[in-house]
Amino acid sequence: MDREKEKQQRVNRFNRASLIYDDYAESYRKVACRLLMQLDRHGWPPPRRILDVGCGTGHMTQLILEAFPEAEVVALDIADRMVRATCEKVGDDRSRLKVVVGDVEDVDLSGLGPFGLIVCNAVCHWFREPLKTFGRLADNLETGGRLLASIYGPDNCAELGALFGQVEEEWNLPREQHLFPTRSSKEWEELLTAAGLVKIDSWESWMRLEYANGLSFLKAIKAVGEAAGRTSHPLWLQRRILLEVIRRYERAHRCGNGVYATMHFLQFLFEKTDDPSEVMLFK
């Protein structure tokens, strides 16, 4: 599929998701708090200008505005309805917020920065060209500026991925990609380093979330984009597989309030520095 068409499909999907996003984005809200708490551990003068990449409905943007009451914040998202939702959520702090509708992989950032902090909560796994995009972000960081990111990890929705595999194997079907493809922590670190940034810290979070039943879990991950794998099975077969996976999920991963699922996030704090040895001393 050509790039523009794929991009438009993604924009449409996120625009639709913006309407129900807040009902399903519990894991992003939790990881957003953990990301900002991690910054505190590294004591550091507050940034004056901050870029929130993939701001979604503005949960992270709001936390950033609260955590840095003097900073100007630029919230950017590829989906216009997400940006609109951010404006509505932020309300009183609107005067310190600039919003931009655009694809971080090709929008011109030069007039907006340079930034002391760039935050990417649950968005980098969407980058088509992560190395190039990290390079663009690094170019728009001040020296000493930081990039703080959370990215789906390989264990995200692991129970579900395993059941898809089980059903396909038993039914003699080729193994397909049903969930969002992920990279390891090491691979992301290599990309960030190749983009010219220096690691300060990295850590991982696993969360257990509970849903009323298998179907509501699947609806949730579809709404927030985690079920955005690629499958070539015909529609009728996809439906059969899905029903079987839900049936097995409800048996295998039952808990008091319905079913549980594991969410896994890799988190990174990187810095743009002229002198990498300083970072080693700081650690």
DSSP 238: H
Q: How far is the CB of 25 from ligand SAM (least distance, A)?
A: 6
Residue 13 or 233: the one with the smaller Cβ distance to ligand SAM is 13
- β-strands 115-121, 141-152 pairing: parallel
The answer to the question of residue 56 lying near ligand SAM (CB under 6 A) is yes
Quote the least distance from Cβ 41 to ligand SAM, whole Å. 20
CB of 237 to ligand SAM, least distance (A): 29
Residue 122 contacts ligand SAM per CB under 6 A: yes
Query: 174: cis peptide before it, omega within 30°?
Result: no
Nearest Cα to Cα of residue 242 among 167, 159, 162, 158:
167
Query: Using CA atoms, how far apart are residues 27 and 161, in angstroms rounded to an integer?
Result: 18
105 makes contact with ligand SAM (CB under 6 A): yes
Q: Which of 51, 73, 104, 109 binds ligand SAM (CB under 6 A)?
A: 104
Task: Show contacts with ligand SAM in window 65-94 (CB under 6 A).
Answer: 76-79, 82
Q: Tell whether residue 28 is a contact of ligand SAM (CB under 6 A).
A: yes
Of the pair 157, 241, the CB lying nearest ligand SAM is at 157
Three-state DSSP class for residue 57 = coil
Please report the DSSP string for 108-136 in residue order.
--TTT--EEEEEEES-GGG-SSHHHHHHH
- Site residues for ligand SAM, window 127-186 (CB under 6 A)? none
Q: Does 14 bind ligand SAM (CB under 6 A)?
A: yes
For ligand SAM, the closer of residues 74 and 78 by Cβ is 78
Residue nearest to ligand SAM (CB): 54
Contact 127, 58 (CB under 8 A): no
- Only one of the segments 118-126, 168-176, 204-212, 247-255 lies at the binding site for ligand SAM (rule: CB under 6 A); that segment is 118-126
Note the Cα 157 to chain centre separation in Å: 14
218 in contact with ligand SAM (CB under 6 A): no
Who's near 240: CB < 8 A, 6+ residues apart? Answer: none
Query: Strand pairing of 115-121 and 49-53?
Result: parallel
SS3 267: strand
In 3-state terms, what secondary structure has residue 207? strand
**Structure tokens that stand for 181 in this block:** 């493809």
* In the complex, least distance from residue 135 CB atom to ligand SAM, rounded to whole angstroms: 14
Q: Is 27 in the site for ligand SAM (CB under 6 A)?
A: no
Applying CB under 6 A, what is the total number of residues that bind ligand SAM? 22
Residues at the contact surface with ligand SAM, assessed by CB under 6 A: 14, 25, 28, 32, 54-56, 59-60, 76-79, 82, 103-105, 121-123, 126, 224
